[in-house]
Structure 1
Amino acid sequence: MQIQRKTLAEEVAERLIEGISNDEYGIGEKLPTEPELMKIYGVGRSSIREAIKILSIKGILNVLQGVGTFVISKNAEESLEAQMNKAEIKDVQEVRSLLDSKIAAKAAISRNEKDLKNIKKYLELRAQFAEANQASECYEADANFHLAIAEACGNKLLKEIYKIATKHIMSSFQTKHDNNTESFKISQKIHTELYQCISGQDSDKASVIAQKIVDQTY
């Protein structure tokens, strides 16, 4: 799973939030002009405009065409990803437990041949790396197997929520499994059964098996 790097616009948005939080830019105050912001933060016009757009969506800034950009709030709703990053792993695991069976059931109905090929690819990589005790590669293949199922479910919002939860759980794998793949060898059979249910469009059984996997009752 690749680590997503922040864009220049996101970095500028964060620095603007810091300035607003520290009263560098007060509520009701007009931000400096685009050229001035470009000079302050050392970035191009497109990055400044994108950063302002990000903070407008968050309800922190308000852009009045022909007048300027004004600070209207210090508070922004914390993103789901940020909340999960702060959450206990047991809480994130509970989110995954609630989602897995639904996602698997929907994937069994909605999947296409491209989805099946992708799911099977990560299933095979999971087995290969588990047998070779290549822990980090095995953990990543396992995460991508489940993400491929989420992709196949056809619900973009479910997929994004699951993606965030999986990223958080992935970070705990090394500690939890002590850099070992033995449990992944044991669970390869039930993961194969899950793939077969999705391939065979058996949504009820896919739901049951997915729940067994997340509850580790196999």
Structure 2
Amino acid sequence: MQIQRRTLAQEVAERLIEGIINDQYPIGEKLPIEPELMKIYGVGRSSIREAIKILSIKGVLSVQQGVGTFVTSKNVQESLETKIDKAEIEEVYEVRSVLDSKIAARAAIHRSEEDLKKMKMYLDLREKLAGENQALECYQADINFHISIAEACGNALLKEIYKITSKHILRSFESSHNNNTDSFKISQKIHMDLYQCIENKDPENAARIAQLIVDKVH
């Protein structure tokens, strides 16, 4: 599995959080001005500003225009994406196992003709790329097929959660399939079966087949 690289801004944000938790920057106090922070953390102005933006969104800092940036809290709430970034791949697959059947069933009920066109496009592309052994492109087509189902499910929150988990599923494909598409060729039929259940507005069988795909990690 590939290592997720953090940006300089994320690293600075983490170091600022450490300083806040350790009372280097007490609650209610103003942070040093940008040039000082640039010297302290050895980064450019854009990285400092982005780090402050990250912590402002988390409610840790408050930017007051013309006055400065103040520490407002030690309680750092990690975003769902950050938590999933830190999760083990087995945990991500468990989340997918819970989501896929539900999403497929909802997609069978709510899908539009445009949704079906998008699913079929990625499904056909998946088959073509698997046949040509274009591994990375095939893995992405597979992920896009499943995301297109999530987009059709009629639940924006489920869709967003699924998109986040899919990034990690893609990385697991890249590390576990060794640039090989044999299993994707084998699993093309069951993916077509899933598509047909959604097309036929058959939520029960769509959920059942989606679960079979997850259980076999196809």
TM-score class, shorter-chain normalisation, is 0.7 to 0.9
Query: How far, CA to CA, are the matches of 1:195 and 1:160 in structure 2?
Result: 21
CA distance in 2, matches of 1:217, 1:51: 37
Q: Displacement of 1:12 after TM fit?
A: 4.5
Secondary structure at the counterpart of residue 21 of structure 1: helix
Q: 1:79 to 1:89 in 2, by over 3 A?
A: same
Using a 3 Å threshold, how does the CA distance of structure 1 residues 100 and 73 change in structure 2: closer, same or farther?
A: same
Partner Cα separation in structure 1 for residue 114 and residue 108 of structure 2:
13
Is the alpha carbon distance of 1:66 and 1:134 closer, same or farther for their aligned partners in structure 2, counting shifts above 3 Å?
closer
For 2:85 and 2:5, the matched residues in 1 are separated by 16
Supply the AA of the counterpart residue of 2:121.
K
The one-letter code sitting in structure 1 at the alignment partner of 2:28 is G
CA distance in 1, matches of 2:180, 2:13: 43
The equivalent residue for 2:119 is 119
Deviation at 1:217, TM superposition (A): 9.0
TM-score, structure 2 as length reference:
0.81
Matched, 1:21 2:24: no
Match of 1:42 among 38, 45, 68: 45
Could you tell me which runs of 5 or more consecutive residues in structure 2 were left unpaired when the two chains were aligned.
Answer: none
- What is the 5 A alignment of 1:1-218? 12=9, 15-22=12-19, 25-32=25-32, 41-43=44-46, 48=49, 52=52, 54-63=54-63, 68-216=68-216
Instruction: Tell me if structure 2 keeps the 8 A contact 1:20–1:26.
Output: no
Q: May I ask how many residue pairs the two structures share in their alignment?
A: 209
Task: Look up the SS of the partner of 1:62 in the other structure.
Answer: strand
Give me the whole-angstrom Cα distance separating, in 2, the residues matched to 1:174 and 1:11.
26
Amino acid corresponding to residue 145 of structure 2 in structure 1: F
2-structure distance, mates of 1:138, 1:13: 31
CA distance in 2, matches of 1:90, 1:12: 29
Q: State the shift of 1:107 in Å.
A: 0.8
Deviation at 1:132, TM superposition (A): 1.1
Alignment root-mean-square deviation, CA: 3.0
CA–CA separation in structure 2 for the residues paired with 1:61 and 1:183: 48
With over 3 angstroms needed to count, the CA separation of the structure-2 counterparts of 1:154 and 1:38, relative to structure 1, is farther
Q: Which amino acid aligns with 1:42?
A: R
Question: Matched residues in 2 for 1:89 and 1:112: separation?
Answer: 32
Q: Percent identity?
A: 63
Deviation track 1:173-207 (CA, whole Å, cap 9, x = no partner) reads: 13322221111111101101111111111111111
Deviates more, 1:33-42 or 1:203-212: 33-42
**Worse-superposed segment, 153-162 or 30-39:** 30-39
Work out the CA distance in 1 between the residues paired with 2:157 and 2:128: 31
Please give the alpha-carbon distance, in whole angstroms, between the structure 1 residues aligned to 2:113 and 2:201.
Answer: 12
Residues 87 and 16 of structure 1: CA distance in aligned 2, closer, same or farther (over 3 Å): closer
Matches of 2:112 and 2:38, distance apart in 1: 47
Q: Is the 8 A contact 2:92 2:168 kept in 1?
A: yes
